[in-house]
Chains A and B, each alone.
Chain A
């Protein structure tokens, strides 16, 4: 879908075209879900956040001026709802960890062979220990593959700031996982 097609679609949604709104939702639903999951690390919460984001989009579509790309607006909403959800939660990591994950998260040192999936899970959990802005940049840029320009639009900061926080965030992530003396890291 080209940018012009998307603008046309948004115009139709503003006029109350439900079918056009459905096309928009189905185009971006997985992206919204993945970004939300990056923040909250819980599938049920990610589902709620993704749905709520589209509901908010629907409620305020008439105010969307098109200054930024539609997905920039959407992802900003997803991120804000995710961060609000995290603030409300007392304990972010409510899902039970496997005994292996518990061992890896509490060990001071040790040699461990870890699979790709296990590394991914540990990385996702350690991501939550990063400062908010670094975490947001890592999730959007690194885990979800958005461009630096897109991320700067979502976070309303310069591309240089995005690059700085990305660098710091990844470095922090690496240091938090340094106990894994494995072939992966």
Chain B
């Protein structure tokens, strides 16, 4: 390696004050005699010094709450992947459960989930005890950015709700207070009914339908009697891979979301 090449490689470290006194002296001595290397040095110096004032990092863009919940999102993705790897389908799960004596509770839970979903569908076709929302949302305009924003917002709020439900500790069911979750689920059911008549891709339309079932079930939970069914709702969320499905459709509305909305994790 030539002397020039060696010195030029050291220039960045020289201007970043990373060299020893001896090394710095060697660089300075060479630069005083070499015009070519001095020109190189000026170039490097400008870039290094321009960066000195960069005190903020990209991670500073996110709020402290975002970082507090970062691991939860990683954990959610890991769990989603694990369920995906298992390749579960309802029939496979039923067969596995039936063949495995170690999972009697899951077998009963699966049967209850199916019963609960059928019951919820029947109830939704007759009547739904949904409290009136003070403001009726305007029906979105088909194919517009406003529609996309509303769909993205629907999925975002649903995802937040499902994550919260998944993390509920069921050790003391009687101490669980789901009033805010139920209120949100009713709002989301209402919103889903406004959205279902708007044009959207097949995946999103199916996902809105899948979410509606869970949300209706949650909305209809009655305190003191049905909170044990929170476990069933949690199982449904995992079995149906709802969080994974939401993440798959979110990029479709990526360009239009968060234009005027605030992500709860960033507050």
Contacts and interface: CB of A to CB of B under 8 A. Distances in A.
B83 interface: no
Contacts of B43: 170-171, 174-175
B48 interface: yes
Nearest to B265: A47
Contact of A34 (B9, B47, B59): B59
B73 A51 contact: yes
Interface in A144-170: 160, 163-164, 166-167, 170
Interface string A167-185: 1001101110000000011
B60 to A, nearest CB: 9
B47 A170 contact: yes
Chain B: number of interface residues, binned into ranges = 20 to 34
Closest 9 CB pairs of A and B: A37-B58, A163-B9, A30-B59, A116-B53, A174-B43, A54-B74, A170-B47, A174-B47, A33-B59
B67 interface: yes
B74 A123 contact: no
A169 to B, nearest CB: 9
Interface stretch (A2-10, A21-29, A68-76, A100-108): A21-29
A167 B8 contact: yes
Interface string A113-127: 000100110010000
A46 interface: yes
Given A51-B74, A116-B53, A163-B9, A44 B44 contact: no
A26 B59 contact: no
Nearest to A24: B71
B264 interface: no
A22 B73 CA distance: 11
Contacts of B254: 44
A52 interface: yes
A55 interface: yes
B210 interface: no
Contact of B77 (A18, A51, A119): A51
A142 interface: yes
21 contacts: A22-B71, A26-B67, A29-B70, A30-B59, A34-B59, A44-B254, A51-B70, A51-B74, A51-B77, A58-B78, A59-B81, A119-B50, A142-B12, A167-B8, A167-B12, A170-B48, A171-B43, A174-B44, A174-B46, A184-B50, A185-B47
A166 B12 contact: yes
Contacts of B44: 167, 170-171, 174
Contacts of B77: 51-52, 55
B57 interface: yes
A166 to B, nearest CB: 6
Nearest to B72: A22
A167 B50 contact: no
Contacts of B54: 116, 120, 143
Contacts of A43: 58, 61-62
Interface string B30-64: 00000000001001101110110110011101100
A37 to B, nearest CB: 4
Given A44-B254, A163-B9, 11 more contacts: A25-B70, A26-B70, A30-B59, A51-B73, A52-B77, A55-B81, A142-B48, A167-B8, A171-B43, A174-B44, A185-B50
A131 B13 CA distance: 21
B11 interface: yes
Contact of A173 (B9, B47, B58): B47
Contacts of B74: 25, 51, 54-55, 58
B11 A26 contact: no
Contacts of B58: 33-34, 37-38, 43, 46
Nearest to A23: B71
